Amino acid sequence: MITVLRDLFHYSSSFRYGSLISTFVLVMVVLSFFSPYAADEMRVVPTNQPPSAEHILGTTSTGQDVFWMLTFAMRNTLMIAGLAVLIGRSIGVPLGMISGYLGGGIDRALSSIVDSFIVIPRLPLLILIASILHGQMTLLSLGILIGLLDWAYPSKRYRAQILSLRERDFTNTAVFSGMNIWKIVIKEHLPFMLPYLLADAVSGILFAIGFEVTLSALGLSAMSMQSVGTMIYWGNYYGALLAHRVWILAAPVVTSVAMVIGLYMMSTGVSAYLDPRSRLARLHVE
């Protein structure tokens, strides 16, 4: 994995720039642990102050510093996205790998289940469930919910990779040596899947961030917790645009765009790195 990351930084400018943006995001997350205010603490600074040397991103109508709010919001949004990716890939990766390796009737049955989940419109379903659970949603439940709706597509992709790997000579050697199915899949196939897992995890985080921001901006998330989406919701709720307090909404909007762009560039860089044509080009260069 370290070698892959090193090559990505060396060969992919998209991955480098995306990593720089993502590093800035992670720095903001780390700063949340050093905030002088609690995440939900109000009336601690003057209200509705524009950006200044003392409050670099201004303050809100509830007397909160936008900069420190943003650090908590980014941390919580990434926590939701990370949990969603962990749950979704914990289901999708083993299911796709086992389905692809076994083939036959088991593969057809599992593929039918996966295809059934793929055709379900995820965003409308997520909005419906969040509406039903309105007022009871937490960061944990939101992350779990997004993860449970984001495993089918990854499963399909991993199945396709395993269908190719199981025809390789090293797989036949492992079978003839007496290794069982789980050992073959985990010890022989999984190492080949790690670069794809990296690209898929980045894409999954991107997907989860989009869903979190959408639900929270609609007021269907855990509204008592700071997140990028809830900052947008409360900014609209208190009429930031009507009162010409643009900085309250600009911070979460710009941040969400930056997070998406950074992750997208990283995902694009990894995808290009894994493309067989780009691999051949790198070999000719070397």
C-alpha 35/C-alpha 130 separation (Å) is 30
Which pLDDT band holds residue 283 (cuts at 50, 70, 90)?
very low
C-alpha 112/C-alpha 32 separation (Å) is 44
Which pLDDT band holds residue 56 (cuts at 50, 70, 90)?
very high
Per-residue b/e over 91-106, b at no fewer than 16 CB within 10 Å?
bbbbbbbbbbbeeeee
What pLDDT sits at residue 280?
47
C-alpha 273/C-alpha 251 separation (Å) is 33
Are 222 and 142 within 8 A, CB to CB? Answer: yes
What pLDDT sits at residue 13?
81
Structure tokens at 49: 């102050």
pLDDT mean over 125-129: 89
C-alpha 283/C-alpha 99 separation (Å) is 33
* pLDDT above 60 for 286: no
Strand partners, 59: 65
C-alpha 164/C-alpha 62 separation (Å) is 57
Specify whether domain 2-39+59-265 bears CATH 1.10.3720.10.
yes
pLDDT mean over 50-64: 91
Which pLDDT band holds residue 14 (cuts at 50, 70, 90)?
confident
**Torsion of Cα atoms, 258 then 260 then 262 then 268, to 10°:** -150
Are 189 and 162 within 8 A, CB to CB? Answer: yes
pLDDT digits (tens, 9 = 90+) for 65-93: 999 999 999 999 999 999 999 999 999 88
Structure tokens at 10: 């060396």
